[in-house]
Structures are given as structure tokens and as C-alpha cells.
Amino acid sequence: MEVAISKSRLALVQGDITEEETDAIVNAANSRLAGGAGVDGAIHRAGGPSIMAECRKIGYCPTGQAVITTGGNLKAKYVIHTVGPVYRGGKGEAGLLASCFTESLKLAASRGLKSVAFPAISTGVYGYPLDEAAEVSLKAVIDYLRSHTDIELVRLVLFDRRSLDVFTEALRKLI
């Protein structure tokens, strides 16, 4: 599904984020930027050791914030690492999750990047309920795109059909 938001496009696709050809892909990182499982592990495996070398130099990223490294061997030139919240029953996590998207988009724009691909941040081992994460994530992206014209394409790359369906339903409700 793809929709126009102001002068930008927002697309939802099912696939492997490590195969994206956007200017940057977003990594659902941990605060130590130490690599891990899920999306984080897949990006580090596909991108090679240069990404981890830069992560070690940066050292830390607080929840809701974002940092940027090379894309290594990926098709994307850059990886934006953002740390999503661990879900603890809805106690402030929505603001932190929204911040992951907003701060990643701000960082991309500050580097002159025009296209960014995101995964479903915090919905894996961090336990954020998929339906709630979809609404918060998409609202943050839509709000950013409505007030900024610097990013031309935001693509949410969902790993499986269920995630794509949940995000598609949430997008239909928001537009």
C-alpha cells in the first residue's frame, strides 16, 4: 500500500529490510549499539563489520533517539540506529516509540537523505503490541511528513504478512 502525504510518499511493504535500496535503512538497535537478534542481527550480518566498528565508536544511544553509521555492504548507504522502548504496559512507551521515527527522520533530513526504510520497531523481543505500535509509528511518520518536505519516501518494511496487514489497517484508519 502506498499513499501520498503532502509532497512525500509513505509505503508499506512485506520484505527484508536488508535488501532495501533507500538512502538509509533504520535499525531497531539496543542502547549499547552492540548488535543483537532480529532486525539488528540481520542488518549487522548483511552489512558487515564496518557498521559494528562505527557503532563501537559511537558507543551508546538512548531510547527514543537515533544515530547514523555507514551502510557497509548493504544497498542502503546509511544505517540509522534507533532504540525503541521495551513495552511495560503502556507507561510512556508511545512517546518513546514515536520519537524513534521522528528522530530518525530528522537525522536523515539533516544528512540530505531523501528515502528511509523502517522496520516495525519494538514489536519483536521488546514486546510492543503490533496493533498499538502500528498506530503510533504511522502517526509519527505522517505527522513528520505533513510538516516537513525534506524526505520524499518513507517505506515501512514488514517482515511477515500479519504485520503488513496490521500496519495497512492502521494506515487506513489514520488517512
For the annotated catalytic residues, the residue numbers are 40
Q: In angstroms, rounded to a whole number, what is the distance separating the alpha carbons of residues 174 and 44?
A: 33
- What nine digits make up the cell of 127? 514486546
Q: Does residue 82 contact residue 29 with C-beta atoms inside 8 Å?
A: yes
- What are the residues facing 25 on neighbouring strands? 79, 117
Alpha helices of the chain — where are they, by DSSP H?
38-47, 49-58, 93-110, 130-147, 161-174
The residues, ordered by sequence, that sit 6+ positions from 152 with a Cβ below 8 Å of its Cβ are 7, 8, 9, 114, 115
- What nine digits make up the cell of 114? 531523501
Q: In angstroms, rounded to a whole number, what is the distance separating the alpha carbons of residues 117 and 76?
A: 9
- What are the residues facing 13 on neighbouring strands? 157
* Secondary structure of residue 6 in the 3-state scheme: coil
